[in-house]
A and B are shown apart, each in its own frame.
Chain A
Amino acid sequence: MSAPPAIAVSGLRKLYGDFEAVRGIGFEVAQGEIFGLLGPNGAGKTTTVEILEGLRQRTAGEVSVLGYDPEKETAAVKDRIGVALQATNLPEKIRVLEAAELFAAFYTRSVAVEDLLRKLQIWDKRNAFYSTLSGGQKQRLALALALVNDPELVFLDEPTTGLDPQVRLEIHTLISRLKEQKKTVLLTTHYIEEAERLCDRVAIIDEGRIAAMGSPRELQERVLGHARVEVTTLQPMPEHLPESWQGGVGAVFSDGRRKLAASSAKPARIVVELVKWLESHGVEIEDLHIRRPTLEDVFLELTGKSLRD
């Protein structure tokens, strides 16, 4: 018997006046899964998430969060989920420990605040005012507040936006640990690496629709199906490609035949054949690498836009 999904959405639509921000979205998030919503600003990510969190009413569609309808059973949903918002703040002069204890008091269930702050490595900062915290410390506190009610489901909205790479890695580590704790996570992001690194599955959202959905690997393969082998040579390459490449391999020359890009489902074999072929013609290799398509490529391919705007 399989467990019911943590989130089930179908046919979700949201109109703001005449503007249709969400145009029929459907997905499910299994328990214990880290699910990513990837898309540029204005794609409908935040609206979707806010409907799930019980902050907004939907225009149409079915939504179930932990078995509740967030529109009708808002309190039950809010009590059981954890949320780390993107642009948020706390009063300047609230201390870390006070903030955690305050939020703990809002929920039916709460974890031991000290353990939580220790786990998130801000116990040392427990008496510091919020305004004195660094960006990373603030984000760790935001995570702590999202986890203070020991939620089954955590929403993380752009959890690392604006943080420097080192801190971003630390936060990624903390998020990965949530998976070990069997928590379900819904993450929105416009960082490709974040989605690739953290998410079990990703939905790419564009203009209120899901453009593609699957594990990062699946998405990459579904779109291009191939890895790319790129080679640069000192001398121009021969005009005629190896005979064994007929049909299965797409190859494009550039830079006066000093560059070749070949894509194939079996990149390792391509490399071997390529090296043999070039050696047999006495062409020296300057550079060679295999590139897997990234989510960014996928995104570009699917939507015709870049994620970073």
Chain B
Amino acid sequence: MRLRAYAAYIKITLKLTLRDRVVLFFNFLMPLLFFIAFGEGMGAETSPGAMSQVLSLVLMFGVLGTGFFGGGIRATMDREAGILRRFKVAPITPAPLLAASMITGWAVFLPSVVFFVLLARWRYGWDQPLNFTSLLIVVSVGVLAFRSMGLIIASVTNSMQESQIIAQLLYMPMLLLSGAAVPLHILPDWLQRVAQFLPATHFYLGTQGILVRHETAWDNRAALGAMLLAMAAGFWVSMKLFRWEKDEKVKPAAKLWLAGVMVPFLLIGAWQMIDRRNEAKVRMIERQSRRSQSWLIRDVRIFTGDGSVIERGGLLIRNSRIEQIYAGAAPDPKDVRAEAVEAGGRTLLPALIDSGVALSQPGGRVSQKAIEEALKAYAYCGVGALAVPQDPQGMADLARRKVDSGEWLGPEILPAPPAPVLSLTAAQTTAGDLSLLRDDLSQQFFPAPYLQSLASLASARKPAPEALQQAIGALRLAREQGGLPSPSGGAGGWLQLHGPGLVHELGLWVEAGIPPGDALMAATAAAADRAGAGNRLGRIRPGLDATLLIVDGNPLEDIRALGRIHSVFVRGERIVRGELASENKKAEK
């Protein structure tokens, strides 16, 4: 086949496509309508994560549309209209026709990618770093793969009606289950697994990975490989089954070829059943998307972590960092493209840092599941970072990686500080006082039977009543000597109750005579400095991580205010506390 035939056919197909208003409608206008509708509806202005989701959705619409309808239905129409018949008598094979369909679909679609990215930048202030080359690679491979699937639809159907039906049968589930239209993480587990068998899911995870997680095309090589395989298989099957005339019928069994092209996705789906990496990726995308939300906290008292207090101020969170602090009135949220958190009468402080946590369970056993649950409890209770000693199983490192990547929800995992760490809470329980279990936070987060079982386990031990007084003595001595230790909720002690210990601890400190401001500083700025994380955590200052806590009232006057948590932000993600608590109560039952 001479190149001249390919060039001529591709050129004319491009021209014809651009003359076809239906194509322009499906490629630009319809996605544009969705872009605007979802952009407004999902709050894309204040959330780059939502904007990325809208972009992925629009790209998905485009790719599915141009593949199944632009590629498949079009080819069937040309055959039905007797157009292909005319080419049959010319000395050409189906190859230039199929190639032209693929290349045209690609060439006409790519400008829309640029268009929508620019629209996101200009209209919605979407300012995320973007590896545009990688995005183009993933979108290109996606268009070609779905286009070739469309061509197979044309190859295996005998009428327009049939190909419409098959196209719809593939289009709807792929759109709905891919994650583009409905977030994957809200689907039931089994549906999430099913989704891993759909080509569209891999396209979606590819674009979202690049848009949200700043991945490269290479990071998505498995999905790209599957799509390339599908493209090659699709092209080959289309060549084999190509029919120039509508009178040539294909046997019903030929529809099985369609399944043949899905083989790469069956393999990748089966692999994901074992590997689960995509499930993790779904969570990371979701987490990073939440972390990128912009927030404007207004009308709030700000405890900066290093002693000073702004009585009425505001704070802007953008891209998971503290962008700006306002003394007095904060600007209009619209002007700074952020969602408002009205916090009149409340206090904003750096999220607390627990300086001594052992992630192991009694008997030294550890499970990933248990650690994941423990970390949620900390986040619920306003703890933004944990200092965790190294353990032989490497669980601390594993937890750090999972939290950093966003697979797990939870506080940042810091190395254990060299400085003295003290836990009155641990001493209190050792002394036989289980008041920690009666704290509001404990009661809110844990199911009652669980707390009761902890209580009965603890009461079986012989109490050491002097332990608390000894610990209080050590705390006072340290204070007299001019340096407070770092507080710990004492989860490494008897009770093994992860989460509410640190708030309880600070209450004990104040009872022991430590001024609330000093206690809070010890649990924030000082703890961060000692763990070597003072440049990211522990203070409210522009450029630091937005790992923050809002409580009702003023803990500087009444430390018990710490237990009345209004909001927790971890790296810009506002923790949905109610959901965490109800999930935890359900799971423990």
**Which of B82, B89, B90, B92 touches A87 (beta carbons < 8 Å)?**
B82
* Contact status B82-A88, CB under 8 Å: yes
A90 within 8 A of B: yes
- Cβ-neighbour of B91 out of A75, A85, A89 (below 8 A): A75
Closest 7 CB pairs of A and B: A105-B8, A78-B91, A83-B89, A89-B82, A79-B91, A93-B19, A106-B90
Which of A27-35, A95-103, A296-304 is near enough to bind chain B? A95-103
Within 8 Å CB of A102, what residues of B? 8-9, 12
- 10 A-B residue pairs with CB within 8 Å: A78-B89, A78-B91, A79-B91, A85-B86, A94-B12, A94-B16, A102-B8, A102-B9, A105-B5, A106-B90
Q: At the interface, yes or no: A53 with Cβ under 8 Å from chain B?
A: yes
Are B20 and A90 neighbours in the complex by a CB distance under 8 Å? no
| Complex: chain A residue closest to B244, CB-CB | A55
In contact, B8 and A87 (Cβ under 8 angstroms): no
**Contact present for A85 and B89 (CB under 8 Å):** yes
Inside 8 A of B8's CB, which chain A residues have their CB? 101-102, 105-106
A103 adjacent to B85 (CB under 8 Å): no
Interface residues of B in 6-62 (CB under 8 A from A): 7-9, 12, 15-16, 19-20
Whether B123 is near chain A, meaning CB under 8 Å from some CB there, is no
B121 at the interface (CB under 8 A from A): no
Query: Given the complex, which residues of A lie within 8 Å of B20, measured CB to CB?
Result: 93
Name, among A53, A85, A106, the residue most crowded by chain B CB atoms within 10 Å (CB to CB): A106
Task: Assess whether B91 is in contact with A88, with CB atoms less than 8 Å apart.
Answer: no
Chain A residues with CB under 8 A of B90:
78, 103, 106-107
User: Is B4 located at the chain interface by the 8 A CB criterion?
Assistant: yes
What residue in chain B is nearest A77 (Cβ atoms)? Answer: B91
Give the residue of A53, A75, A89, A101 whose beta carbon is less than 8 angstroms from that of B83.
A89
CB-CB < 8 A to B88: which residues of A?
55
Chain A positions within 8 Å of B, measured between CB atoms, are: 53, 55, 75, 78-79, 83, 85, 87-91, 93-94, 98, 101-103, 105-108, 145
Name B's A-contacting residues (CB within 8 A): 4-5, 7-9, 12, 15-16, 19-20, 78, 81-83, 85-86, 88-92
Contacts of A103 in B (CB 8 A): 90
How near does chain A come to B471, taking the closest CB pair, in angstroms? 86
Q: Write out the residue numbers on chain B whose beta carbons fall within 8 Å of the beta carbon of A91.
A: 16, 78, 83
| Nearest chain B CB to A188 CB, angstrom units | 14
Write out the residue numbers on chain B whose beta carbons fall within 8 Å of the beta carbon of A108.
Answer: 91
Across the interface, which residues of B come within 8 angstroms of A75, CB to CB? 91
Instruction: Specify the main secondary structure of chain B where it touches its partner.
Output: helix
Task: Give min CB distance, B193 to chain A, whole Å.
Answer: 44
Listed residue (B7, B19, B86, B92) with the most chain A CB atoms within 10 angstroms of its CB: B86
- Is A90 in contact with B83, judged by CB distance below 8 angstroms? yes
Q: How far is the CA of A106 from the CA of B96 in the complex (A)?
A: 10
Chain B residue nearest to A146 (CB atoms) is B89
**Interfacial chain B residues near A145, Cβ < 8 Å:** 86
A151 to B88, CA, bound (A): 16
Among candidates A85, A93, A94, A106, residue contacting B92 with C-beta atoms closer than 8 Å = A106
Whether the pair A105, B7 counts as a contact (CB closer than 8 A) is yes
The CA-CA distance from A101 to B5 in the complex, in Å, is 10
CB distance from A179 to the nearest CB of B (A): 22
B20 closest partner in A (C-beta):
A93
When A79-B91, A93-B20, A98-B12 are in contact, do A105 and B4 touch as well, CB less than 8 Å?
Answer: yes
A88 to B80: give the CA distance in the assembly, Å. 10
- Candidate in B7, B12, B83, B89 with the most chain A CB atoms within 10 angstroms: B89
Q: State how many angstroms separate the Cβ of A299 from the closest Cβ of chain B.
A: 27
**Min CB–CB distance A7 → chain B (angstroms):** 16
Report B80 CB to chain A, min CB distance, Å. 10
**Cα(A102)–Cα(B82), bound, Å:** 17
Q: What 11 new A-B contacts, CB under 8 Å, besides A88-B86, A105-B7, A145-B86?
A: A55-B89, A87-B85, A91-B78, A93-B20, A94-B12, A103-B90, A105-B5, A106-B5, A106-B8, A106-B92, A107-B91
Greatest chain B CB density within 10 A among A91, A94, A108 is at A91
Cβ distance A88 to chain B, nearest Cβ, rounded Å: 4
Nearest-CB residue, chain B, relative to A54: B89
**Complex CA–CA separation, A198 to B511 (angstroms):** 117
**Residues of chain A within 8 A of B4, CB atoms compared:** 105
A17 to chain B, nearest CB (A): 13
Q: Which of A75, A89, A108 has the most CB of B within 10 A?
A: A89
A93 to B88, CA, bound (A): 20
Cα-based distance from A102 to B7 in the complex (angstroms):
9
Q: Verify A88–B16 contact, CB threshold 8 A.
A: no
User: In the assembly, what is the distance between CA of A53 and CA of B91, in Å?
Assistant: 10
Measured between beta carbons, the chain A residues less than 8 angstroms from B15 are 98
Once bound together, how far apart are the Cα atoms of A102 and B92, in whole Å?
12
State the Cβ distance, A261 to closest chain B Cβ, in Å. 45
Q: Looking at the assembled complex, report how far the CB atom of A155 sits from the nearest CB atom of chain B, in whole angstroms.
A: 8
Q: Which chain B residues border A90 with CB–CB below 8 Å?
A: 83, 86
Task: Say whether B19 contacts A53, CB under 8 Å.
Answer: no
| Cα-based distance from A106 to B91 in the complex (angstroms) | 6
Shortest CB-to-CB span from B490 to chain A, Å, is 77
- State A89–B86 Cα separation when bound (angstroms): 7
